[in-house]
């Protein structure tokens, strides 16, 4: 049975310049909203223009994904939790 806890998804991003186009590193941590404890091995998936990139959180709940500017849908999933979904616009 899935609990109704929500993910607290802390997102931090910054741009690093490249010659042709800027890239962004989307990073943050996934934590249980009730206890504040990190969610280990949560799947973090980034959908962008019909391509998908993904990673898992580490032992501290941290993750990082490199991507291009544009509109992105971020989905975070972990067993026992309701999936978290949000849309980001990177310029």
Which one has a higher pLDDT value, 58 or 2?
58
Instruction: Using pLDDT thresholds of 50, 70 and 90, give the confidence band for residue 23.
Output: confident
**Residue spans of beta strands (DSSP E) within the chain:** 7-16, 23-32, 43-48, 51-56, 62-67, 70-77, 84-90
Per residue in 34-71, is it b (16+ CB within 10 Å) or e — as a string? eeeebbeebbbbbbbeeeeeebebeeebebebebeeee
Instruction: Report the C-alpha gap between 90 and 62 in whole angstroms.
Output: 20
In this structure, which topology does domain 7-90 adopt according to CATH?
Immunoglobulin-like (2.60.40)
Q: Is the pLDDT of residue 2 over 80?
A: no
Q: What is the pLDDT of residue 10?
A: 46
- What are the extents of the domains in the chain? 7-90
11 vs 85: which has the higher pLDDT: 85
């Amino acid at each position: 049975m899935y609990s109704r806890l929500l993910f607290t998804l802390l997102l931090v991003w910054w741009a690093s310049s490249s010659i042709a186009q800027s890239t962004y590193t989307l990073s943050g941590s996934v934590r249980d909203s009730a206890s504040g404890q990190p969610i280990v091995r949560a799947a973090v998936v980034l959908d962008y223009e019909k391509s998908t990139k993904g990673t898992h959180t580490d032992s501290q709940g941290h993750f990082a994904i490199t991507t291009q500017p544009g509109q992105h849908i971020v989905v975070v999933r972990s067993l026992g939790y309701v999936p978290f979904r949000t849309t980001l616009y990177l310029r």
